[in-house]
Amino acid sequence: MNSPRDEAVTVPEDPVPGEPVRSVRRLRDPWYLLATGFGSGLAPRAPGTVGTLAALACWWPLSQLNPWLYIVLVVVAGVGGIWICGRVAATLRIKDPGLIVWDEFVGLWLALFLLPAGWIWPLAGFALFRFFDILKPWPVSWLDKNLQGGLGIMMDDIAAGLMALCVLQGAVWLLTVTA
C-alpha cells in the first residue's frame, strides 16, 4: 500500500508519449497548452520573454475588468498554475522547464494591476517584471532555489511580479504627488 507521501510524487501519465518536449502536438493536452502560455513557451529562444509578451497581449482585456474581479482571476490563475505547472513539469520529468510560462503570465498580471491609462505603464511593467524575473534578487532567488514542483515554478514569478508592482505603484504615486 502506498503512503500519502508516495502518492504525492506520482508522475502523471504522459498524454502524448514519445513526442519531443517542444512538440506542437503536445498542445492538444489542455494542461500543456495552458502551462506553455498557449504555445508561446515553445519559442526556441527566450521562451520566458516570449511568454511574457503573450501575457501582455492577454492582459489588455483583463485590465478592463473591475479591480476585484481582476485580482480574483489572477489569484485563481496563480493557484491553478501551481497545479498545472507542477503536473506538466512532472509529466516531462523536468524540474522547471523553460517552456512552462504560465508563471510569467501570472507574474506579469500581478505587476500590471491597477495601472493608470497610457501605453508607457504596461511597457514599464513588462520591463520591470522581466528584470526581477531574470536577475532574481532576494526573495525571488530564495523561492526559486527552495520551493519544489508547481509551487516553486510559480512563486518566484509571483514574487518578481509583486516587486515590479511595488516599483510601478511607487512611480505612479511619486508622479501624482509631484504633479
What pLDDT is stored for residue 98 in this prediction?
A: 94
How does residue 30 score in pLDDT terms, banded at 50, 70 and 90? very high
User: Using one digit for the tens of pLDDT, what is the confidence trace for 98-148?
Assistant: 999 999 999 999 999 999 999 999 999 999 999 999 999 999 999 999 999
- Residue with the three cell numbers 519544489: 148
Q: What is the mean pLDDT of residues 2-19?
A: 56
* pLDDT for 18: 65
What is the per-residue pLDDT for 2? 43
Closest by alpha carbon to 100, among 173, 151, 39? Answer: 39
Question: Which DSSP state fits 39?
Answer: T
Who has greater pLDDT, 6 or 148? 148
Task: Assign 3 to helix, strand or coil.
Answer: coil
| Predicted local confidence at residue 178, as pLDDT | 84
CA distance 83 to 57: 24
- pLDDT at position 162 is 98
All residues at 6 or more sequence positions from 30 whose CB lies less than 8 Å from its CB, including other chains: none
Contact 99, 163 (CB under 8 A): no
CA–CA gap between residue 86 and residue 127 (Å, rounded): 26
The string of DSSP letters for 66-80 reads: -HHHHHHHHHHHHHH
Give tens-digit pLDDT for 43-56.
999 999 999 999 99
CA distance 176 to 179: 5
Give dist(CA 58, CA 64) in Å, integer.
Answer: 11
Looking at the predicted structure, is the pLDDT value of residue 10 above 60? Answer: no
